[in-house]
């Protein structure tokens, strides 16, 4: 969970973070909501009112710079800062909050995959495609991977395998199931 | 003409440089800077904070350049979808090629200098253009 910070970390102290402090006018609401959506997609840590942050690297810095531009274009004010938490405990607090947010997202994917597993082949295939890209997006903003990540990946990939056995069904012969499955995918 | 962009070229900047050279300025020379203050006088900046040819609203810089230079070629707009999704991944477009381009460009930038990335990606975007053109004409994937 500390890997992403390794490069920017002097000794064992806290790592470098990129912060965006911003203020967007309440009205019109459309640009304000668009900015909020972008920040949510980036998985930022909320440090305070109008202050968000991400572990600093070339990519996160660029991303927050673009959001800062959006804020300015929306008639607000924004600044991008590089900063270090004063204590490891403070950094850990941020990491824990970010990991908790991702945990909830992974759990939602795991639940959806479990539901889809019971469905027909077409629904399963569609869910597999959708949830794989959903997982890719969550993983992109997952700076401190929580435990639920592996489980979500396993649940989604299980959709590529044979369907979950129905409790009321007579077990099918293994070769018959494999034959049907191969035909569908070709 | 001189053009300037942020150092550490990724998909959007590589695609913009290709677009500029092929469709706007065949003699384009590119400078890479880490701070917008270092942009040389007289250079046109793109994909860097403060430049007009950058992200605007939902658009990435490639799309902004297409709009500003009134490039309406549908093949370029198809490439714009790939660049947009590789750069922003916000599901605005259906571009299954995007994750592949994203990884390829990120990997290249780890082992090559910016100038070299542009050299290598030029033919790649030429090929993408040809592929998208044929796909548009055929209405299906070309051979």
The predicted structure's pLDDT at residue A166 = 59
pLDDT band with cut points at 50, 70 and 90 for residue A5: very low
Long-range contacts of B132-135 (CB under 8 A, 24+ apart): B132/B75, B132/B78, B132/B79, B133/B75, B135/B78
B116 DSSP assignment: H
A167 reaches B (C-beta below 8 A): no
Residue of B55, B63, B96 to mutate when probing chain A, most A C-beta within 10 A: B55
Nearest residue on chain A to B56, judged by CA atoms?
A: A70
Residues of chain A positioned with their CB less than 8 A from the CB of B90: 41
Residue-level pLDDT, tens digit, chain B, 143 residues: 999 999 999 999 999 999 999 999 999 999 999 889 999 999 999 999 889 999 998 999 999 999 999 999 999 999 999 999 999 988 899 999 999 999 999 999 999 999 999 999 999 999 999 999 999 999 898 88
The ipTM estimated for the assembled molecules is 0.83
The closest CB to that of B49, out of A41, A58, A65, belongs to A65
A140 reaches B (C-beta below 8 A): yes
Q: How far is A14 from chain B (nearest CA, A)?
A: 24
pLDDT higher than threshold 90 for residue A165: no
Residues of chain B positioned with their CB less than 8 A from the CB of A70: 55, 57
- Per-residue model confidence as pLDDT tens digits over A63-116: 999 999 999 999 999 999 999 999 999 999 999 999 999 999 999 999 999 999
DSSP A19-32: EEEEE--SSSHHHH
Sign, CA torsion B133/B135/B139/B142: positive
The predicted structure's pLDDT at residue A3 = 43
Beta carbons of A62 and B56 less than 8 Å apart:
no
pTM of structure: 0.82
A65 reaches B (C-beta below 8 A): yes
pLDDT higher than threshold 50 for residue A2: no
């Amino acid at each position: 969970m500390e890997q992403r910070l390794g490069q920017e970390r002097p000794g064992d102290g806290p790592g470098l973070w990129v912060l965006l402090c911003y203020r967007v006018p309440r009205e019109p609401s459309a640009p304000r909501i668009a900015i909020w959506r972008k920040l949510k997609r980036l998985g930022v840590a909320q440090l305070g009112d109008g202050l968000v942050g991400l572990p600093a690297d070339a990519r996160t810095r660029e991303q927050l710079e673009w959001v800062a531009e959006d804020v300015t274009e929306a008639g607000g004010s924004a600044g991008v800062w590089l900063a270090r938490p004063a204590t490891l405990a403070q950094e850990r607090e941020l990491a824990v909050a970010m990991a908790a947010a991702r945990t909830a997202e992974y759990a939602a994917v795991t639940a959806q995959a479990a539901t889809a597993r019971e469905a027909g082949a077409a629904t399963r295939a569609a869910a597999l495609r959708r949830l794989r890209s959903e997982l890719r997006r969550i993983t992109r903003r997952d700076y401190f991977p929580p435990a639920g990540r592996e489980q979500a990946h396993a649940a989604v990939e299980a959709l590529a395998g044979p369907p979950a056995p129905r409790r009321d069904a007579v077990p099918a012969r293994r070769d018959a199931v494999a034959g049907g499955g191969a035909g569908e995918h070709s | 003409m001189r053009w300037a962009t942020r150092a550490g070229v990724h998909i959007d900047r590589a695609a913009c440089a290709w677009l500029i050279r092929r469709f706007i300025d065949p003699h384009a020379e590119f400078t890479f800077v880490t701070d917008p203050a270092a942009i040389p006088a007289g250079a046109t900046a793109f994909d860097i904070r403060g430049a007009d040819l950058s992200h605007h609203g939902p658009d990435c810089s490639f799309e902004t350049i297409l709009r500003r230079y009134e490039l309406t070629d549908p093949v370029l707009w198809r490439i714009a979808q790939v660049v947009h999704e590789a750069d922003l991944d916000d599901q605005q477009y259906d571009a299954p090629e995007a994750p592949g381009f994203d990884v390829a460009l990120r990997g290249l930038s780890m082992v090559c200098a910016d100038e070299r990335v542009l050299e290598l990606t030029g033919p790649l975007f030429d090929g993408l253009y040809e592929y998208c053109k044929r796909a548009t004409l055929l209405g299906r994937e070309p051979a």
